[in-house]
Structure 1
Amino acid sequence: MEFSEGEVIELLARVFATSDPRLLLGIGDDAAVATGSAQQILTTDIAVEGVHFKSSWSAPYEIGARIAKANIADVLSMNGRCDYLLVAASVTGKETLDWIGQLAQGIADVAKEYGAIVVGGDLTKSPALQLAITAIGHTDNPITRSGAQIGDGIYLSSLTGWSAAGLEILSKGLSIDSDEAAEALTQYRNPTLDSMIDFSKAHAMADVSDSLLIQGEQIAKASEVALEIETGLIEKVEEFASLERLATETSSDIWQWILAGGEDHVLLATGQNLPGLRIGQVVTGSGISINDPMSKIKVAPVSWSHFR
């Protein structure tokens, strides 16, 4: 190990330094002290090297940014805004101080972009690099998975599938020089969060972290309704043609990407006349179904699972 724990903490204190008045006491004490809202949102997420990311595929800055966004997306999906992040890291000791600094900068920049502050965390050594981030936000009107109503439209803030496309390019070691491939790799390494879309009137909402099918099933179960996705509506989305070109170029199944791909962190919502991309409707019944009258889907999409 080329550094001491004290050196890392000093580095992180510099990277995460802030004069934001919400933070009364930051890094350097046993715990942080910050102002809070009357109705807070709390969420946590863990990322493990080799399971959720690979250092050989992404720069340390991208890894930090990507994991921070996964947590902030959960807050956004509850119709909230993120205030604070707590970061717990297990490093292997093979990293350099510069590498850790870049990782922290990725987290710090994303926090700043979405109005949050990194207020502290923990550091230890382990055989595998692991990052756990806790996000604390606020909302006056939480939107949950359980509010979908029969007759609602189903909406996405952006088209899913880009992150899965990037993962496939990296997994197969493909070298593709196209705008679509570059976009896919960007969305895998450092996804865009749709924080500006106004889903505040949605009846139900979720962050698409696992897949459209999985999050759709979760909303259907919580709301005791059925979600019906229409392939014809998805094909009309402007981004679809670009993603389809990339699928053709890589001999891939675009519907596997769109329906079963994860980590896009777009918002899935139900409601009436919402902005975004309408892809279906809420109907009586249970579960999620795909209305595919032209038989576009040749193989049933399979979503990734930690425990399969």
Structure 2
Amino acid sequence: MGEFELIAAINQDQPQREDTSVGPGDDAAVVAAPDGRVVVSVDMLVDGVHFRSDWANGEQIGRRAALAAMADIAAMGAAPTSLVVAVSAPGTTPTDLLLGIAKGLREAAVEAGAAVVGGDTTRSETLTISVTVLGDLRGAPPVRRSGARPGDEVAVTGRLGWAAAGLTILSRGFRSPAALVNAYRVPEPPLSAGITAAASGATSMIDVSDGLLADLGHIAEASGVSINIRRAALDVNPRLVEVASALGKDPMEWVLSGGDDHPLVATFPHGASLPPGWQPIGTVGVAGDDGPTVTVDGSRHEGPGGWDHFR
């Protein structure tokens, strides 16, 4: 199948929202922006770095790409509306894999109330997917990383450590437990929780893509504060404990520094009522002589706090 036949096949079943006046098939899409502002984020996934095409099928890869990208929009307190996707792949890539990726992208977008409105394809040595997401704040101010203040409470919603456990399992050559392996293949970010958090007065927010400690470090740095996490407040699922014991791992390390689950972590004013599903895990304090820091039970965490592509 050539490039244009592939594009035609991908565009054949793309449902569109009512606010899209020009969708796939033209030089550019045209979408409405009722709020007068558009939240924009882009996420890139590379085979062998963010996913492995021998560990997941096309639909799983597509869903992962869409959900990871839309989690950034949710972390701003916005709702995803439109996705523009660029796919670069070797010429020998099976057509079924690419059509599966397109299906996964489409279905994940629709389930979130969004739609794929356009994109691009090209040839490369490595399968690469770039997803640009547009979002709607619905009249609310964006929730940024820089809003945390001393006295705020830190809370999280969504799974922590599951994808990291799944990656460890797959790296050891195993394919079960399926729940953890599939958590790595396809995350389950709580997209709607971002809007709820914003409406409940969240002062800062971020999605955990690289690791809880690493991403909280971005909030601490942007806000000029210190953040302390209580280990006892973190939920470690019994399944994680069981698998970690079998593999000789510490499940808390998956929870503290594992990425790819894309839960949301936010700060809320002291005494505020947390939205349903949000779990308090720590507090925000004044930055000390060392500047903005993230600690666990008052001490610096030994070991990496998350993923760094260029470390």
TM over 0.5: yes
Q: How far apart in 2 are the matches of 1:183 and 1:301? A: 25
State the match for 2:184 in structure 1.
188
TM-score normalised per structure 2 = 0.90
What is the letter of the counterpart of residue 47 of structure 1?
A: L
Mapped to 2, the partners of 1:228 and 1:5 lie a distance apart of: 51
Deviation at 1:86, TM superposition (A): 0.3
* Alpha-carbon distance between aligned partners in 2 of 1:175 and 1:107, rounded to the nearest angstrom: 24
CA distance in 2, matches of 1:86, 1:262: 24
Q: Does 1:306 align with 2:306?
A: no
Distance 1:21 1:183 in 2: 36
Is the alpha carbon distance of 1:191 and 1:83 closer, same or farther for their aligned partners in structure 2, counting shifts above 3 Å? same
Question: Aligned partners of 2:175, 2:240: CA distance in 1, in Å?
Answer: 17
Deviation at 1:300, TM superposition (A): 2.8
8 Å CA contact retained: 1:15, 1:104:
no
**Mapping of 1:232-271 within 5 angstroms?**
232-234=232-234, 237=235, 239-271=236-268
Q: Is the 8 A contact 2:161 2:259 kept in 1?
A: yes
SS in 2 for 1:199: helix
DSSP-derived class of the 1:70 partner: helix
Alignment of 1:10-89 (within 5 A): 10-16=8-14, 18-37=15-34, 38-89=36-87
Distance in 1 between residues matched to 2:257 and 2:5, nearest whole Å: 42
RMSD between aligned alpha carbons?
1.7
- In 2, Cα distance between the equivalents of 1:6 and 1:195? 33
Mapping for residues 34-183 of structure 1, pairs under 5 Å: 34-37=31-34, 38-139=36-137, 140-176=140-176, 181-183=177-179
Distance 1:241 1:280 in 2: 22
Rounded Cα–Cα distance in structure 1 between residues aligned with 2:25 and 2:55: 33
Q: Is the 8 A contact 1:159 1:240 kept in 2?
A: no
- Give per-residue Cα distances to partners, 1:89-139, cap 9 Å, x unaligned: 101122232221111000000000101111101110111111101000011
Aligned pair count reads: 295
Determine the C-alpha separation between the residues in 2 that align with 1:259 and 1:19: 39
Pick closer, same or farther for the CA change 1:101–1:90 going to 2, 3 Å.
same
If the length of structure 1 is used for normalisation, what is the TM-score? 0.91
Post-superposition offset of 1:175: 4.8
Number of the residue aligned with 1:291: 297
Using the alignment, how far apart are the partners of 2:101 and 2:13 within structure 1? 10
Percent identical pairs in the alignment equals 36
Q: Is the 8 A contact 1:156 1:266 kept in 2?
A: yes
Secondary structure of the 1:164 match is helix
Task: Tell me, in whole angstroms, the C-alpha distance in 2 between the residues paired with 1:11 and 1:175.
Answer: 32
